[in-house]
Structure 1
Amino acid sequence: MSRINQNVGSMVAQRVLSQQNMDLSKTLNRLSTGLRIVRGSDDPAGLIASENLRAEKVAINSAMNNAERAEQVVNVAEGGLQEISSMLVELQSLVTSTANEAGVSNEEKEANQLQIDSILQSIDRIANSTSFQGIKLLNGNFEYTTTGVDQTEIDDLKINSAKLSNAAGSS
Protein backbone atom coordinates (compact mmCIF):
# COMPACT_ATOMS: atom_id res chain seq x y z
CA MET A 1 0.00 0.00 0.00
CA SER A 2 1.33 3.41 -0.94
CA ARG A 3 1.06 6.43 1.13
CA ILE A 4 0.91 10.04 -0.09
CA ASN A 5 2.53 12.39 2.29
CA GLN A 6 0.87 15.82 2.31
CA ASN A 7 1.64 18.73 4.48
CA VAL A 8 -1.61 20.72 4.40
CA GLY A 9 -0.22 23.58 6.48
CA SER A 10 2.68 24.02 4.06
CA MET A 11 0.36 24.08 1.06
CA VAL A 12 -1.87 26.73 2.69
CA ALA A 13 1.17 28.83 3.55
CA GLN A 14 2.46 28.52 -0.03
CA ARG A 15 -0.92 29.65 -1.44
CA VAL A 16 -1.10 32.62 0.95
CA LEU A 17 2.50 33.57 0.10
CA SER A 18 1.74 33.41 -3.63
CA GLN A 19 -1.36 35.62 -3.15
CA GLN A 20 0.65 38.10 -1.07
CA ASN A 21 3.36 38.24 -3.75
CA MET A 22 0.71 38.99 -6.42
CA ASP A 23 -0.82 41.74 -4.25
CA LEU A 24 2.63 43.21 -3.59
CA SER A 25 3.39 43.17 -7.31
CA LYS A 26 0.11 45.01 -8.08
CA THR A 27 0.80 47.59 -5.37
CA LEU A 28 4.35 48.20 -6.58
CA ASN A 29 3.10 48.51 -10.17
CA ARG A 30 0.47 51.07 -9.08
CA LEU A 31 3.06 52.99 -7.08
CA SER A 32 5.56 53.04 -9.92
CA THR A 33 3.02 54.17 -12.56
CA GLY A 34 0.95 56.44 -10.33
CA LEU A 35 -2.21 54.91 -11.77
CA ARG A 36 -5.01 53.32 -9.78
CA ILE A 37 -5.99 51.13 -12.74
CA VAL A 38 -3.02 49.55 -14.49
CA ARG A 39 -4.87 46.67 -16.17
CA GLY A 40 -8.50 46.16 -17.06
CA SER A 41 -8.69 43.38 -14.49
CA ASP A 42 -7.93 45.87 -11.68
CA ASP A 43 -11.33 47.59 -12.02
CA PRO A 44 -13.26 46.95 -15.26
CA ALA A 45 -16.06 49.42 -14.45
CA GLY A 46 -13.53 52.03 -13.39
CA LEU A 47 -11.58 51.49 -16.61
CA ILE A 48 -14.72 52.00 -18.72
CA ALA A 49 -15.60 55.16 -16.79
CA SER A 50 -12.01 56.38 -17.13
CA GLU A 51 -11.97 55.82 -20.89
CA ASN A 52 -15.34 57.58 -21.27
CA LEU A 53 -14.02 60.55 -19.29
CA ARG A 54 -10.84 60.58 -21.35
CA ALA A 55 -12.85 60.66 -24.60
CA GLU A 56 -15.07 63.41 -23.18
CA LYS A 57 -11.97 65.42 -22.23
CA VAL A 58 -10.64 65.14 -25.79
CA ALA A 59 -13.99 66.31 -27.17
CA ILE A 60 -14.11 69.25 -24.74
CA ASN A 61 -10.54 70.26 -25.61
CA SER A 62 -11.43 70.11 -29.29
CA ALA A 63 -14.53 72.24 -28.70
CA MET A 64 -12.44 74.77 -26.75
CA ASN A 65 -9.90 74.96 -29.58
CA ASN A 66 -12.72 75.45 -32.08
CA ALA A 67 -14.23 78.20 -29.92
CA GLU A 68 -10.85 79.96 -29.67
CA ARG A 69 -10.43 79.74 -33.43
CA ALA A 70 -13.95 81.08 -33.98
CA GLU A 71 -13.16 83.95 -31.62
CA GLN A 72 -10.07 84.77 -33.68
CA VAL A 73 -12.13 84.75 -36.89
CA VAL A 74 -14.74 87.02 -35.31
CA ASN A 75 -12.05 89.39 -34.03
CA VAL A 76 -10.53 89.71 -37.51
CA ALA A 77 -13.95 90.29 -39.09
CA GLU A 78 -14.87 92.76 -36.37
CA GLY A 79 -11.72 94.78 -37.01
CA GLY A 80 -12.62 95.08 -40.69
CA LEU A 81 -16.22 95.94 -39.87
CA GLN A 82 -15.18 98.66 -37.42
CA GLU A 83 -13.01 100.25 -40.10
CA ILE A 84 -15.87 100.05 -42.61
CA SER A 85 -18.28 101.49 -40.03
CA SER A 86 -16.12 104.56 -39.47
CA MET A 87 -15.90 105.05 -43.24
CA LEU A 88 -19.68 104.76 -43.55
CA VAL A 89 -20.12 107.51 -40.95
CA GLU A 90 -17.81 109.73 -42.97
CA LEU A 91 -19.66 108.74 -46.15
CA GLN A 92 -23.01 109.64 -44.61
CA SER A 93 -21.68 113.06 -43.64
CA LEU A 94 -20.41 113.70 -47.17
CA VAL A 95 -23.66 112.56 -48.80
CA THR A 96 -25.72 114.71 -46.43
CA SER A 97 -23.59 117.80 -47.05
CA THR A 98 -23.61 117.22 -50.82
CA ALA A 99 -27.38 116.66 -50.87
CA ASN A 100 -27.88 120.00 -49.15
CA GLU A 101 -27.80 122.17 -52.25
CA ALA A 102 -27.79 125.46 -50.40
CA GLY A 103 -24.41 127.12 -50.72
CA VAL A 104 -22.63 124.14 -52.32
CA SER A 105 -20.93 124.88 -55.62
CA ASN A 106 -20.56 122.38 -58.47
CA GLU A 107 -16.80 122.14 -57.76
CA GLU A 108 -17.53 121.23 -54.12
CA LYS A 109 -20.06 118.62 -55.26
CA GLU A 110 -17.51 117.13 -57.65
CA ALA A 111 -14.85 117.12 -54.92
CA ASN A 112 -17.29 115.45 -52.52
CA GLN A 113 -18.17 112.89 -55.21
CA LEU A 114 -14.48 112.06 -55.66
CA GLN A 115 -14.15 111.62 -51.90
CA ILE A 116 -17.30 109.45 -51.83
CA ASP A 117 -15.91 107.29 -54.64
CA SER A 118 -12.62 106.99 -52.75
CA ILE A 119 -14.42 105.89 -49.57
CA LEU A 120 -16.45 103.31 -51.51
CA GLN A 121 -13.27 101.94 -53.08
CA SER A 122 -11.64 101.77 -49.63
CA ILE A 123 -14.66 99.90 -48.27
CA ASP A 124 -14.45 97.43 -51.17
CA ARG A 125 -10.71 97.03 -50.61
CA ILE A 126 -11.20 96.31 -46.90
CA ALA A 127 -14.08 93.91 -47.63
CA ASN A 128 -11.97 92.03 -50.18
CA SER A 129 -8.78 91.94 -48.11
CA THR A 130 -10.10 91.06 -44.63
CA SER A 131 -9.21 87.39 -44.30
CA PHE A 132 -8.32 84.71 -41.79
CA GLN A 133 -5.80 82.11 -42.95
CA GLY A 134 -6.56 82.84 -46.58
CA ILE A 135 -10.34 82.81 -46.19
CA LYS A 136 -11.90 86.15 -47.07
CA LEU A 137 -14.44 87.05 -44.42
CA LEU A 138 -16.22 90.17 -45.68
CA ASN A 139 -16.41 89.83 -49.46
CA GLY A 140 -19.81 88.09 -49.43
CA ASN A 141 -18.49 84.64 -50.38
CA PHE A 142 -17.84 83.31 -46.87
CA GLU A 143 -20.16 80.47 -45.93
CA TYR A 144 -20.67 79.55 -42.30
CA THR A 145 -20.62 75.82 -41.70
CA THR A 146 -20.73 73.68 -38.60
CA THR A 147 -19.44 70.16 -38.32
CA GLY A 148 -19.68 67.82 -35.39
CA VAL A 149 -22.35 69.95 -33.72
CA ASP A 150 -25.57 68.45 -32.44
CA GLN A 151 -28.20 70.69 -34.03
CA THR A 152 -30.72 69.84 -31.30
CA GLU A 153 -28.44 71.53 -28.76
CA ILE A 154 -28.48 74.88 -30.60
CA ASP A 155 -31.27 77.03 -29.22
CA ASP A 156 -30.74 80.15 -31.31
CA LEU A 157 -28.40 80.99 -34.15
CA LYS A 158 -28.46 84.27 -36.01
CA ILE A 159 -26.04 85.13 -38.77
CA ASN A 160 -26.12 88.49 -40.48
CA SER A 161 -24.22 89.12 -43.67
CA ALA A 162 -24.04 91.92 -46.17
CA LYS A 163 -22.69 92.00 -49.68
CA LEU A 164 -20.49 95.06 -49.87
CA SER A 165 -20.02 96.58 -53.29
CA ASN A 166 -20.15 100.00 -54.88
CA ALA A 167 -22.97 101.30 -57.02
CA ALA A 168 -21.20 100.27 -60.24
CA GLY A 169 -21.69 96.62 -59.26
CA SER A 170 -18.06 95.58 -58.77
CA SER A 171 -17.22 93.78 -55.57
Structure 2
Amino acid sequence: MVRVVIGSLAGGVAMFIIGFLFWATPLQYLGYSTATDDQNAAVQLSHAQNLPHTGRYVVPNPGSQVGANGYSKGPISIVDYNLNGFAPGDPASMIGGLVQEVIVSLMIALSLFAVAGRVTDFASRARLAIGLSAAATVMIVTSDPIWNHADWRYAIYALIADLAMLSGASLVIARWFLPRATAADTIH
Protein backbone atom coordinates (compact mmCIF):
# COMPACT_ATOMS: atom_id res chain seq x y z
CA MET A 1 0.00 0.00 0.00
CA VAL A 2 2.97 2.33 0.57
CA ARG A 3 3.87 1.89 -3.11
CA VAL A 4 0.33 2.94 -4.05
CA VAL A 5 0.62 6.15 -2.02
CA ILE A 6 4.05 6.92 -3.48
CA GLY A 7 2.68 6.09 -6.92
CA SER A 8 -0.17 8.53 -6.34
CA LEU A 9 2.34 11.28 -5.66
CA ALA A 10 4.34 10.35 -8.76
CA GLY A 11 1.15 10.13 -10.83
CA GLY A 12 0.04 13.52 -9.55
CA VAL A 13 3.38 15.05 -10.52
CA ALA A 14 3.15 13.44 -13.99
CA MET A 15 -0.39 14.78 -14.37
CA PHE A 16 0.76 18.25 -13.22
CA ILE A 17 3.61 18.36 -15.76
CA ILE A 18 1.39 17.20 -18.63
CA GLY A 19 -1.33 19.62 -17.55
CA PHE A 20 1.20 22.44 -17.38
CA LEU A 21 2.16 21.79 -21.01
CA PHE A 22 -1.48 21.90 -22.12
CA TRP A 23 -2.84 24.67 -19.89
CA ALA A 24 0.05 26.97 -18.92
CA THR A 25 1.83 27.40 -22.24
CA PRO A 26 0.70 29.10 -25.46
CA LEU A 27 -0.55 25.68 -26.57
CA GLN A 28 -3.68 26.37 -24.49
CA TYR A 29 -4.86 28.95 -27.00
CA LEU A 30 -5.59 26.21 -29.53
CA GLY A 31 -8.75 25.54 -27.52
CA TYR A 32 -9.99 29.10 -27.11
CA SER A 33 -11.74 31.52 -29.41
CA THR A 34 -10.54 35.11 -29.18
CA ALA A 35 -12.00 38.60 -29.37
CA THR A 36 -10.36 41.98 -29.80
CA ASP A 37 -9.26 44.07 -26.83
CA ASP A 38 -12.23 46.40 -27.37
CA GLN A 39 -14.69 43.49 -27.51
CA ASN A 40 -13.15 41.95 -24.38
CA ALA A 41 -13.41 45.27 -22.54
CA ALA A 42 -17.08 45.66 -23.52
CA VAL A 43 -17.95 42.13 -22.38
CA GLN A 44 -15.96 42.53 -19.16
CA LEU A 45 -17.77 45.78 -18.38
CA SER A 46 -21.14 44.18 -19.12
CA HIS A 47 -20.30 41.29 -16.79
CA ALA A 48 -19.28 43.67 -14.02
CA GLN A 49 -22.49 45.67 -14.42
CA ASN A 50 -24.89 42.73 -14.70
CA LEU A 51 -23.63 39.59 -12.95
CA PRO A 52 -24.06 39.80 -9.16
CA HIS A 53 -21.51 37.22 -7.96
CA THR A 54 -19.03 34.57 -8.98
CA GLY A 55 -20.79 31.64 -10.60
CA ARG A 56 -21.74 29.87 -13.80
CA TYR A 57 -24.47 31.69 -15.69
CA VAL A 58 -26.68 30.60 -18.58
CA VAL A 59 -27.43 33.74 -20.62
CA PRO A 60 -30.27 34.22 -21.19
CA ASN A 61 -31.72 32.08 -18.42
CA PRO A 62 -34.34 29.83 -20.04
CA GLY A 63 -36.16 29.51 -16.69
CA SER A 64 -38.56 32.36 -17.53
CA GLN A 65 -40.73 32.89 -20.60
CA VAL A 66 -38.67 35.92 -21.69
CA GLY A 67 -35.42 33.98 -21.13
CA ALA A 68 -36.73 30.90 -22.96
CA ASN A 69 -37.66 33.04 -25.97
CA GLY A 70 -34.24 34.67 -25.98
CA TYR A 71 -32.54 31.32 -25.49
CA SER A 72 -34.30 29.76 -28.47
CA LYS A 73 -33.44 32.73 -30.73
CA GLY A 74 -29.83 33.19 -29.60
CA PRO A 75 -27.17 34.24 -29.12
CA ILE A 76 -26.64 32.33 -25.88
CA SER A 77 -23.70 31.77 -23.61
CA ILE A 78 -22.60 29.86 -20.57
CA VAL A 79 -20.38 32.18 -18.59
CA ASP A 80 -17.92 30.97 -15.96
CA TYR A 81 -17.66 34.25 -14.09
CA ASN A 82 -15.18 35.23 -11.40
CA LEU A 83 -15.99 38.60 -9.87
CA ASN A 84 -12.50 39.10 -8.43
CA GLY A 85 -10.25 37.74 -11.16
CA PHE A 86 -6.81 36.30 -10.51
CA ALA A 87 -3.31 36.46 -11.94
CA PRO A 88 -2.26 33.98 -14.63
CA GLY A 89 -0.15 31.29 -12.98
CA ASP A 90 -1.71 32.03 -9.59
CA PRO A 91 0.29 30.05 -6.98
CA ALA A 92 -2.86 29.09 -5.05
CA SER A 93 -4.33 27.59 -8.24
CA MET A 94 -1.12 25.70 -8.92
CA ILE A 95 -0.98 24.25 -5.41
CA GLY A 96 -4.69 23.43 -5.45
CA GLY A 97 -4.32 21.83 -8.87
CA LEU A 98 -1.42 19.65 -7.72
CA VAL A 99 -3.40 18.53 -4.68
CA GLN A 100 -6.38 17.72 -6.93
CA GLU A 101 -4.13 15.73 -9.28
CA VAL A 102 -2.58 13.74 -6.42
CA ILE A 103 -6.08 12.90 -5.13
CA VAL A 104 -7.19 11.82 -8.62
CA SER A 105 -4.00 9.76 -8.93
CA LEU A 106 -4.75 8.15 -5.58
CA MET A 107 -8.21 7.20 -6.86
CA ILE A 108 -6.62 5.70 -9.98
CA ALA A 109 -3.99 3.87 -7.91
CA LEU A 110 -6.55 2.41 -5.49
CA SER A 111 -8.70 1.24 -8.41
CA LEU A 112 -5.74 -0.41 -10.13
CA PHE A 113 -4.55 -1.88 -6.85
CA ALA A 114 -7.97 -3.47 -6.35
CA VAL A 115 -7.53 -5.53 -9.53
CA ALA A 116 -3.74 -5.88 -9.43
CA GLY A 117 -3.91 -9.54 -8.42
CA ARG A 118 -6.10 -10.38 -11.42
CA VAL A 119 -4.65 -7.93 -13.95
CA THR A 120 -0.98 -8.67 -13.55
CA ASP A 121 0.82 -7.51 -16.69
CA PHE A 122 1.59 -3.90 -17.51
CA ALA A 123 -0.06 -3.96 -20.96
CA SER A 124 -3.39 -5.11 -19.50
CA ARG A 125 -3.19 -2.62 -16.64
CA ALA A 126 -2.38 0.16 -19.12
CA ARG A 127 -5.32 -0.75 -21.40
CA LEU A 128 -7.66 -0.85 -18.42
CA ALA A 129 -6.45 2.47 -17.02
CA ILE A 130 -6.45 4.29 -20.36
CA GLY A 131 -9.84 2.83 -21.29
CA LEU A 132 -11.42 4.03 -18.05
CA SER A 133 -9.67 7.39 -18.35
CA ALA A 134 -10.99 7.77 -21.89
CA ALA A 135 -14.53 6.82 -20.88
CA ALA A 136 -14.59 9.32 -18.02
CA THR A 137 -13.01 12.07 -20.10
CA VAL A 138 -15.38 11.62 -23.04
CA MET A 139 -18.40 11.64 -20.72
CA ILE A 140 -17.37 14.70 -18.75
CA VAL A 141 -15.74 16.87 -21.41
CA THR A 142 -18.17 16.30 -24.27
CA SER A 143 -21.27 16.89 -22.15
CA ASP A 144 -21.19 20.68 -22.61
CA PRO A 145 -21.04 20.65 -26.41
CA ILE A 146 -23.62 17.87 -26.66
CA TRP A 147 -26.14 19.02 -24.06
CA ASN A 148 -25.51 22.77 -24.04
CA HIS A 149 -24.40 23.26 -27.66
CA ALA A 150 -21.10 24.66 -26.38
CA ASP A 151 -17.91 25.00 -28.40
CA TRP A 152 -16.48 21.77 -29.84
CA ARG A 153 -13.07 23.33 -30.44
CA TYR A 154 -12.50 23.84 -26.74
CA ALA A 155 -14.05 20.47 -25.88
CA ILE A 156 -11.76 18.56 -28.24
CA TYR A 157 -8.70 20.38 -26.89
CA ALA A 158 -9.79 19.73 -23.28
CA LEU A 159 -10.54 16.09 -24.10
CA ILE A 160 -7.04 15.55 -25.50
CA ALA A 161 -5.43 17.41 -22.58
CA ASP A 162 -7.45 15.63 -19.88
CA LEU A 163 -6.96 12.22 -21.47
CA ALA A 164 -3.21 12.83 -21.70
CA MET A 165 -3.10 13.91 -18.04
CA LEU A 166 -5.14 10.97 -16.74
CA SER A 167 -3.33 8.46 -18.95
CA GLY A 168 0.07 9.80 -17.93
CA ALA A 169 -0.72 9.35 -14.25
CA SER A 170 -2.28 5.94 -14.89
CA LEU A 171 0.73 4.67 -16.84
CA VAL A 172 3.18 5.83 -14.17
CA ILE A 173 1.16 4.06 -11.48
CA ALA A 174 0.54 0.90 -13.54
CA ARG A 175 4.17 0.57 -14.56
CA TRP A 176 6.07 1.28 -11.35
CA PHE A 177 3.82 1.32 -8.31
CA LEU A 178 1.59 -1.77 -8.31
CA PRO A 179 2.49 -5.18 -6.94
CA ARG A 180 4.54 -7.26 -9.35
CA ALA A 181 3.15 -10.44 -10.86
CA THR A 182 4.42 -13.64 -9.25
CA ALA A 183 4.86 -17.04 -10.85
CA ALA A 184 1.67 -18.19 -9.10
CA ASP A 185 -0.23 -15.27 -10.68
CA THR A 186 0.70 -16.34 -14.19
CA ILE A 187 -0.44 -19.97 -13.78
CA HIS A 188 -4.08 -20.37 -14.79
TM-score when normalising by structure 2: 0.26
- Greater relative CO, 1 or 2 (CA 8 Å, sep 6+): 2
Q: Relative to total residues, which structure has the larger helix share, 1 or 2?
A: 2
TM-score when normalising by structure 1: 0.28
Structure with max Cα Rg: 1
